[in-house]
Structure 1
């Protein structure tokens, strides 16, 4: 799981941020005045880097042995991988880029000679890869990759590598020690929420530099167009390091940032930097500079810009759920159902899969054959919001748009529909998603920050789990789903829910079989929960302890590592807000 989880103290610090912002106006580099510094929380579970000390090349090692040792040498990041570079010729060592691509492998590499002298193949069982920006791409089970290495003997008769793809190779067990996951944070398009972008970095002293550089480079492909950064696209580090002295991280930026930003944007930049570096236990304040001089954030009134928003991170959804009981909609909390006042009867519509807005003031549900999506609320009529074939369970975003997907004829292709608050079929929006053209959508859940969607698809009997960014217009109308990123579960999946900002729960619901739900982390982790027979429905509240299972006997909740013994009978299809 990501290292920089958002503790309560960070949330409280965010609320105090306007008080901590020190502002002073200027459009060029001033020589006096207050410095823009924001205090960051020191509470973090980030540990000091673990140092690996692999051996250098062994005298008179044969090519196969040398390549095996070179793979192990990839764990030694000290001195810019100086030990690993000793396995390369001097010319190749100067151009080799070790962190351009990291391959995480399972079983021991297999090294074999090719028919060409000095050419060898390194075959790996790949569990995932990480690119230069720290973006991890998972791999299905049984994925293999072969790398070609060329070697020659030097003047001393020692074999050295003259060519091999850039990058290092580390085992999955080494990855747990050598690599660290961090959540970069970008703004939602409305600037109201923080949206995490989980990255992997080698855990070493330069980690702050990696974090800031990756943030300046922008979000991962699946988030592009759905989140925003306060930093102009042209912004780079003025120097290739982020020094931390006495707990203050100094971020030297390229000079053009002063001409391209307003006071408001600079305050948003400072706020974003603070959020991104708050997970490091070596940092308790952040300062922006240009050409060695502090960047000032506004006028001397010490009042934040009136348009500066304090984003919410990992929004909570409360303890109340909406359920179906006796063919009517009820609220459900601590094992008891509570009637919803002033909501019309829905019994004649055979309701299932209910949903509730984050405010708890609006509701949606499907009819019995999943061909109609209805919305309603206190003192409101029942509205047909969408029609289709095989509609997915409705999901509300923070702006109270309700989402569903329908399957095309013969189960081929899917259409994603979003309905505005109080809207009907006539006002529904078709959300563009070309990558769903050949797949049936089994589940679609909008994240609590409103910037991402969790999508489960099926094609020719094979299910897949994706994350995708939600691209919206300036008035926040949904427009399209961006390039997807795949998450890999241990087996088939037909239902999924958000657990928190960087974790989802997935399962293959079944009325008769034993079901084993899994937590999938955006960092690539997979954690299985205890099995339970006959799970028909999964709901997830705030965090991994608030997990509920709907069965034919009633609702059961997660208790520690198991499930409650006695189901709450007469209750079906529980769902937290969202």
Structure 2
């Protein structure tokens, strides 16, 4: 029999990371169901209550809001035509038929509206140039979205100028030359676009790595999401994640039919070339997790002319983690020693030798809790230790940054060397002599304030200082086939407001950043899709720590005590600890 994967239906507001743990639980059920389906239909329960949600056949239109722009007004001036054309870009229905009415007959058929979307602030400015029929549109840009749905946010105020040529047809002005794409006001982008995370495998297939994308709300969104996934990851993730689908595989048609909740994904013949059962099952897993968050999809089926048989369960098929849980316990320093912090209490770390004579600062712990790392007070030596073992120095240098563990227990830090920054990763049990020195030429003259490795081991969060300005950057981590870190990819810049000195992961798709110092700080929650949420202000912030989410496990060290985020406020835990950090 043919196999498909059942996906639990879920409503999820675009761009919001709350509820991630519930989603992860649903995904766990989904992937267990995947394995059960592979073993045969006898594993599927046939009794018990069944909930049925009626949905129309065909492909969903992403519940788009109604925008009904008008076509060209008779006798309109070139300036008015251009302003109304910008407004007409909000109407995606019928292949942007209204916007095409503003174009000349030759351009009407070749114009690609979603090749590039410019998000702008304020009002567009239209100016006539000296040459006959030549105009330009000036925009204060907030960002762009390319044809793959990759959004690039403008970090500093910027403008963009689009050149346009106008011609007359039957006495009416029309646009004869203009760059492909549409222009959308930033204020309405949330209504016109949806955010959706694509997922790729980490290099060892043990974690799902999110890749935030943006798509226009219109019919066919499922096919565009699948097409974007097949085209591969965003530039900053290339080389650091992998796809189960071979290069060259595409959708065999421009739609993904959805019948009674089942999405049938028709793929090009390349999908079956040299495909093992393991490869097909990995593809099916990836397809399922990418469509999980679409409300109209309850199951998926791969096909290529006919349904693809997945074969018997592959013994080495890994079910990746979607949201690694790092628990509720932190490591910190109290009275000169490493301690545990949990549920408002401070306790000793069982079996760990005293390290007070080394003056520990900035501790870190592995996800398993079996290894610890810390710096000395001068931040010139990095030590590692474990219960039952003596602390040993593994890296020396100037301006070492707070250590961070990846899932394979490599310890990461950076140091200043001859006016540049060097990124190091020390293997488990290793020393500086066998550490990996990563290539990151893009750092240039930047100095690194913070380096935090994502709990999937595929991405690095880097806070840099460039001429006194703090930047929050996200780079991919490339590794050898043996898993040795090799380089940090050219990063994605996350836009922030104000000065940023420190940042940390709060789950897979959320980052918390803040300034530090004696004055008032306003920590900010950064979503990978570009959204920002300012938190309540706090005086004297010196550090931020976060676990698996920003709702239940977010703390700030300030004024000599530890504060916990509860709702929209900070609550004093009345704990005298320094440098707290969750695993990772």
Cα distance in 2 for residues equivalent to 1:513 and 1:491? 13
TM superposition shift of 1:8: 4.4
Equivalence for 2:566: 559
Deviation, 1:9, is: 4.3
2:507 equivalent in structure 1: 500
What pairs with 1:473-484 in structure 2 (closer than 5 Å)?
Answer: 473-484=480-491
Matched, 1:149 2:164: yes
Q: Paired residue for 2:46?
A: none
Name the structure 1 match of 2:399.
390
Q: How far apart, in 2, do the equivalents of 1:289 and 1:163 lie?
A: 41
Instruction: Give runs of aligned pairs for residues 105-254 of structure 1, distance below 5 A.
Output: 105-155=120-170, 157-254=171-268
| Match 1:427 to one of 419, 424, 434 | 434
- 2:35 corresponds, among 6, 15, 19, to 19
**Quick one: distance in 2 between partners of 1:509 and 1:502?**
23
Q: Kindly indicate whether the alpha-carbon contact (under 8 Å) linking 2:208 and 2:456 is maintained by their aligned counterparts in 1.
A: yes
Q: Please name the residue that 2:535 is paired with.
A: 529
C-alpha displacement at 1:21, in angstroms?
Answer: 3.3
Superimposed CA distance per residue, residues 498-523 of structure 1 (whole angstroms, 9 cap, x where no aligned partner)? 0111110111111x110111111110
Shift of 1:437: 3.0
Distance 1:379 1:168 in 2: 62
Cα offset, 1:390, TM superposition: 0.6
Deviations 1:223-272 (A, max 9, x none): 01110000000111111211111111111111122123111100000110
Tell me the equivalent position of 1:88: 103
1:304-319 mapped onto 2 (5 Å cutoff): 304-319=313-328
- Residue number in structure 1 paired with 2:47: none
Q: 2 CA distance for matches of 1:254 and 1:51?
A: 34
Identify which of 302, 320, 333 aligns with 2:329. Answer: 320
- Aligned residue for 2:11? none
RMSD across aligned positions (CA): 2.0
In 1, the alpha carbon distance for the partners of 2:92 and 2:32 equals 38
Q: For 1:396 and 1:552, locate their aligned partners in 2 and report how far apart those are by CA, in whole Å.
A: 27
For structure 2, which runs of at least 5 residues remain unmatched after alignment?
1-13, 43-51, 54-60
**What residue in structure 2 maps to residue 282 of structure 1?**
296
Contact 1:3 1:279 in 2 (8 A): no
TM-score (norm 2): 0.92
Displacement of 1:18 = 4.2
- SS of residue paired to 2:388: coil
Any idea what the Cα deviations from partners look like across 1:168-204, whole Å, max 9, x if unmatched? 0000121010100000000000100000000000011
C-alpha separation between the residues in 2 aligned to 1:336 and 1:16?
37
Distance in 2 of aligned mates of 1:452 and 1:481: 8
Q: 1:296 and 1:312, CA in 2 relative to 1: closer, same or farther beyond 3 A?
A: same
Partner of 1:259: 273
Distance 2:228 2:424 in 1: 33
Instruction: Provide TM-score, normalisation by structure 1.
Output: 0.93
SS in 2 for 1:107: strand
Aligned to 1:572: 578
TM-aligned CA deviation for residue 567 of structure 1: 4.6
- Structure 1 residue 431: deviation in Å? 1.3
State the alpha-carbon separation in 1 of the partners of residues 320 and 378 from structure 2. 40
CA contact (8 A) 1:443 1:495 kept: yes
For residue 282 of structure 2, give the secondary structure of its aligned residue in structure 1: helix
Separation in structure 2 between the aligned mates of residue 476 and residue 9 of structure 1, nearest angstrom: 28
Check the 8 A contact 2:539/2:559 in 1, yes or no: no
Asked if the contact 2:15–2:531 (Cα under 8 Å) also holds between the matched residues in 1, the reply is no
Local SS of the residue matching 2:155:
coil
Matches of 1:445 and 1:159 in 2, distance apart? Answer: 55
Please give the alpha-carbon distance, in whole angstroms, between the structure 2 residues aligned to 1:559 and 1:348. 36
Choose 220-229 or 137-146, whichever is displaced more. Answer: 137-146
- Once residues 418 and 8 of structure 1 are traced to their aligned partners in structure 2, the CA distance between those partners, rounded to angstroms, is 30
Per the alignment, residue 519 of structure 1 pairs with 525
- 1:336 equivalent to 2:355? Answer no
SS of structure 1 residue aligned to 2:332: strand
**Post-superposition CA distance 1:290-331 (Å, at most 9, x none):** 12x1111114xxxx2101000000211100000100000000
Q: Is the 8 A contact 2:333 2:361 kept in 1?
A: yes
Deviation at 1:47, TM superposition (A): 5.8
**3-state SS, counterpart of residue 87 of structure 1:** coil
1:323–1:329 Cα contact (<8 Å) kept: yes
Secondary structure class of the residue paired with 1:147: strand
Find the residue that maps to 1:330 and give its secondary structure. Answer: strand
Specify whether residues 202 and 488 from structure 1 end up closer, same or farther in structure 2 by C-alpha distance, changes over 3 A only.
same
1:298 maps to 2:311:
yes
Q: C-alpha distance in 2, partners of 1:365/1:568? A: 24
Q: Confirm or deny: 8 A CA contact 2:24 2:322 kept in the other structure.
A: no
- Residue 385 of structure 1 contacts residue 428 of structure 1 at CA under 8 Å; is this kept in 2? no
Gaps of 5+ in 1: 25-32, 35-40
Are the equivalent residues in 2 in contact too, given 1:371–1:388 (CA < 8 A)? yes
* Counterpart for residue 38 of structure 1: none
User: Is 1:509 the equivalent of 2:523?
Assistant: no
Aligned-partner SS, 2:324: coil
**Displacement of 1:23:** 6.7
1:14, 1:338 → 2: CA distance?
Answer: 39
| Residue number among 465, 468, 482 corresponding to 1:461 in the alignment | 468
Displacement of 1:73 in angstroms is 0.3
